[in-house]
Structure 1
Amino acid sequence: MTAESTAGRRRGRPKKGKELQTDQIFEAAVACFAEFGFDKCSLRAIADRAGVDVALISYHYGSKLGLWTAVVDAVADDAMRQLKSCREASMDFPPQVKIHRLCIDLVSIINRRPLFSQLFISEIMTSSDTERRKIIEDKIARPVHDVLLRYILEIREGSEERKSDASLEIVAATSLISSIISSRDFLKRIIQVAEDDDRLIDELALIAQRILI
């Protein structure tokens, strides 16, 4: 084994092409990282929650960072697939309908994994770890933003003069949705709509639509 490959394994990267092995590991990893934060979360705690041997996680992902990276990869891949599907399904609709369907899908994507939204916000707001922040930027934040920007500009008929506005509006809309979804358990004490999944998605989609229109 070369020094370069050995160093790569020490940094905790998952094996190339290796995806999360089970839904249990994925859900347990997201829950533990969101609840305890990366530094205080252990592979053993994740393994116990997933009901698997910790050696299985170590074998497949090399380290805690390897598993964390695989989680980000899995969420990013799923989000990009759904956004692509939304665009393809809406190609023949008028602009207002395209925006509405995009916002519904965007809220639904985020709502599917509220704990990941909590993890995502925590990492970009409080973490000082530059490697994990860079992984989030490269694997999910920038790719999702860029595909949304292209789609929004396409809906607006390629209006370049509004490109900078659209970029900020996308950040505002996705940040708002993520913040509300990740704090939903608390918000149930304050606003009734947070208790109704379908209504919450509809209301958030309308708010996002007003931002992006």
Structure 2
Amino acid sequence: MSEVRATKRRRGRPRGGAGDTRERILSAATAEFAEAGYDGATMRAIAARADVDAALVHHYFGTKADLFGATIDTPIRPDIAIRTLLNGPLEDLGERIVRFVLDSWEQADVRRRGLVLLRAGLSSRATAPVLAGFLARELLERIADRVGTPDAALRASLAASQIAGLLVTRYILRLPAMRAASVDDLVAWLAPTVQRYLTGDQTPS
């Protein structure tokens, strides 16, 4: 009588096709980010929820930031773009940031999906803290490191507040003058303010 060997599925092998495994990881990541926040969520915990090896999560999605971006279906990846933006001269960083944001949001697909995400970030108690954690860790900390001053974290946050106001007034509230202004005009007006937040003298007079 031949011996029958039962083959036990090893953790990390897709239970179905690659698409099924990817969706299980995304579902697990959504739950983990919602419960633990961006900083608290780990690739290992997400893998455990999805019943796969952590290596498989990295195989499909790369980094935690990549996985978060896929989870929220972000139209642009500011955490990736900022690496290029930070490479140029520090004294022109404000202009590069403002122009990148406007050039990106003027694209119909980016604007459409970005508005969904922005509205969720402003109104959802579940989405807001996770999105804030992502932006703080992957974007603002990098800007602060580049600025390199003792108050760099505040400077980066103030710059972000200016960008947030731009997005809300131009694309959500659609204030007439903001909608009518050209990208070049808005860059000319806003870039010096963002630059002052990042590198200007903040000593009270």
Q: State the 1:146 CA deviation.
A: 0.6
- Contact kept? 2:26, 2:71, Cα under 8 Å: no
1:88 matches 2:87: yes
Counterpart CA distance in 2 for 1:71 and 1:83 is 18
Residues 121 and 176 of structure 1: CA distance in aligned 2, closer, same or farther (over 3 Å): farther
Residue equivalent to 2:170: 184
Q: State the 1:138 CA deviation.
A: 4.5
Residue equivalent to 1:40: none
Whose Rg is larger? Answer: 2
Identity %: 15
Residue equivalent to 1:44: none
Residue equivalent to 1:12: 27
5+ residue gaps, structure 2, are 1-8, 16-20, 30-55, 62-67, 106-110, 201-205
Counterpart CA distance in 2 for 1:169 and 1:152 is 8
Q: State the 1:86 CA deviation.
A: 2.7
Q: 1:152 pairs with 147, 166, 169, which one?
A: 147
Residues 120 and 204 of structure 1: CA distance in aligned 2, closer, same or farther (over 3 Å): farther
Q: How does 1:83-122 map to 2 (within 5 A)?
A: 83-90=82-89, 98-99=90-91, 101-111=92-102, 112-113=104-105, 114-115=111-112, 118-122=115-119
User: Residue type of the partner of 1:123?
Assistant: A
Counterpart CA distance in 1 for 2:157 and 2:194 is 11
- Contact kept? 2:94, 2:191, Cα under 8 Å: yes
User: Residue type of the partner of 2:27?
Assistant: G
TM-score (norm 2): 0.53
User: Residue type of the partner of 1:69?
Assistant: T
User: Residue type of the partner of 1:75?
Assistant: I
- Contact kept? 2:144, 2:156, Cα under 8 Å: yes
CA RMSD of aligned residues (A): 3.8
- Contact kept? 2:99, 2:183, Cα under 8 Å: no
Residues 69 and 140 of structure 1: CA distance in aligned 2, closer, same or farther (over 3 Å): farther
Query: What count of residue pairs does the alignment treat as equivalent?
Result: 145
Residues 209 and 67 of structure 1: CA distance in aligned 2, closer, same or farther (over 3 Å): closer
Q: State the 1:75 CA deviation.
A: 2.5
Structure 1: which 4+ aligned runs deviate by more than 6 Å?
1-8
